[in-house]
Amino acid sequence: MDLYYSLSPEVSGPEDLLQRNLLYIKIRWYLLLVLGAGGLLAAVRLKSTAPSPTKILFLIAIVAAFNLFFYLLTHIARRKSTAVKTYINIALFQVILDIVSISYCVYLDGGEASKLFVLYVLPIVISSGLFARSIIYFTAFFSMFAYFFVSFVYVVNRTLAIPDAGSILKTAFFATSFLFIAYLADYLYSLRHQREVELAQTEMVSLASHQLRTPATAVKGYLSFLLEGDVGKLNPKQLDFAKRAFDENNIQLRLIDNILNVARIDLKRLHFAPRMTDLSVLIEEVVHEHLAIIGERGQSISFKPHTKNTQTAVDPQLMRIVVDNLISNASKYSGKDGKISVKLFGDKQFVKFSVEDNGVGIATFEQKKLFKRFSRIFSNQRTEVIEGSGLGLYLTKELVKIHHGSIDLVSYPKEGSIFTITLPRKEALK
Amino acid sequence: MKQILVVEDYPSLQHIYKVALENAGYKVDTASDGGQALAKAQKNTYDIILLDLLLQRVSGLEFLRALNAPLNYPKTKIIVISNVSHPEVAKEAERLGVYKYLVKSEHLPKDIVNEVNNQFGGG
């Protein structure tokens, strides 16, 4: 029963269902006006072939009466705040009466020869906008049955004979197409709903990350008091532990920022403000920020610009994340005594920078999935857990893409990796 | 003694900024939302207001609009310290008379004290 009473994911609640119902009632008025006028005109002009005006007027009166009845019923239900099941029943009953009315139209218009069978699409589409999958298919099956029935009855009434195989097949073909329309409508609505759910989840992740950043920033503040000796001098061991906690907190903040930026990209809310920037200075600053932790790991890092013209159009804040992620990765996946080399090249059109390490390297089959979300390198020689969200390279690739640039990787297991970023000098400003 | 108003709704951060600035020799007053901050700013004369933007009830930007510091309190300097790093917000804050815009997670308490010190050439 729950399946029966489930609404389409498109419908946000009882009030929305009511509004949609009222909209469909309005559409029914317009259709009645157009089809009724058309039918009456045909009845007057083509007296011999068209159904009698009396029959058409009877149909118009019936449909107008049931539409008025449902209009009033919907308003009464709204005023009395009836249970959602009642609203669904009202809507479903209308859809059934629509199919019955359309069937009568088809009958009056010539049974299987009538083109009015296309009207069956309407209740199916209305149904897919209101109900869950089970009722959409019920509507399609009911339409199929009704169309088949009226076509059959029409032939029997007119010719007093069973329809021939050709007309049965033709009717069956059109009737089956209702199922296909139901499938298509259901599929399109599900697709839209899925996208909405994904966006809502991303929104939640974004909000949660924002909330996480504030306490993490407070921890950073308190730890800095301890490290600065503002609340008394620490012994060497306490100082070492406080320093480790401070480094971990920095990693935590970077992870939160990565998650937030990926959420911003998904929600199309990432602010991109490119301007001519000296990439050499930017890289130098990021390298400098990494010096301490790279030194602690027993690794070394060097940076060399091989071009004089180091100006290029980038968003400095975003490009800083790219350089930071690449250097951070190179260090994470290199062992003790690891050597990281950052180089900057350029020609008239492009600026390239590369981050090279002599770390664990990446096997060819793993390189393809490396830039996907939550990817990790498993074929490495390191046994300890490497911190990271698995979002760093995905975010890097997306940020480079925003700059109209590209990212290339050359890597061999146990030898190391070279990540090269190519950026058009002025493309980002266009 | 120079007087500073710290407007921050997260208690730990408010505490951190208060301690850091008091250690540097400043007299510190605190407020947890824009409304409270506005009442204090209109009652006392502060040399510097350290302002978070995402606040309960009255936001930091609403506080700036209501205070209209460039016109009403030209001697008060306002430093925004927020995790909202959107350039449009920074631009709007600047238009409303903010002297400096700092990203919270990127600045340690000592960096904030340095920024304040720079205003006075020492505490």
Q: Give the closest of B10, B86, B109 to A214, CB-based.
A: B10
Cβ-defined contact of B88 to A230 (cutoff 8 Å): no
For residue A429, the model assigns a pLDDT of 65
In chain A, what residues touch B104 (CB-CB under 8 Å)?
214, 217
pLDDT for the residue numbered A6? 66
Least confident of A42-51, A111-120, A401-410, B32-41: A42-51
Instruction: Pick the residue from chain B with its C-alpha nearest to A271.
Output: B86
pLDDT value of position A126 = 85
pLDDT of A384 strictly over 50: no
Q: What pLDDT digit, counting tens, does each position of A297-335 carry?
A: 899 999 988 878 888 999 998 999 999 999 998 998 888
pLDDT of residue A14 exceeding 80, the answer is no
- The predicted structure's pLDDT at residue A62: 86
CB A221 to CB B108 under 8 A?
yes
pLDDT tier at A50, thresholds 50, 70, 90: low
What pLDDT sits at residue B49? Answer: 96
pLDDT of residue A245: 93
Sheet of A300-305: strands edge to edge? A300-305, A339-346, A350-357, A416-424, A406-412
Which residues from chain B sit within 8 angstroms of residue A221, using beta carbons? 12-13, 16-17, 20, 108-109
pLDDT tens sequence across B48-71: 999 999 888 888 999 999 998 888
Residue partners of B118: CB distance under 8 A and separation at least 6:
none
Half-sphere exposure of A336 (CA within 13 A, CB side): 3
pLDDT, average across residues B60-87: 88
- Chain B residue with minimum CA distance to A216: B105
What does the alpha-carbon distance between residue A347 and residue A417 come to, in Å, rounded to a whole number?
Answer: 23
Q: What is the mean pLDDT of residues A70-99?
A: 83
pLDDT band at A3 (very low <50, low <70, confident <90, very high): very low
Residue A390's region, left for phi above 0, alpha for psi from -120 to 50, else beta, is left
Residue B3 has a pLDDT of: 94
**Sheet strands (E) in chain B:** 3-7, 27-31, 48-51, 77-82, 98-103
Strand pairing partners for A351?
A346, A423
Please say if the pLDDT value at position A189 is more than 90: no
- Which one-letter DSSP state was computed for residue A428? G
pLDDT at B47: 94
A385-421: per-residue pLDDT in tens? Answer: 455 567 889 999 999 999 999 999 999 888 899 999 9
Q: Is the pLDDT of residue A112 over 70?
A: yes
Quickly tell me which residue has 């259901």 as its tokens: A186
Q: Flag whether the pTM goes above 0.90.
A: no
Cβ-Cβ contacts under 8 Å, B9 against chain A = none
Does residue A47 carry a pLDDT above 80? no
The pLDDT score that the predictor gives to residue A389 is 61
The highest-confidence range among A59-63, A159-163, A366-370, A418-422, by mean pLDDT, is: A418-422
Selecting from B12, B20, B105 the residue whose C-beta is nearest the C-beta of A253 gives: B105
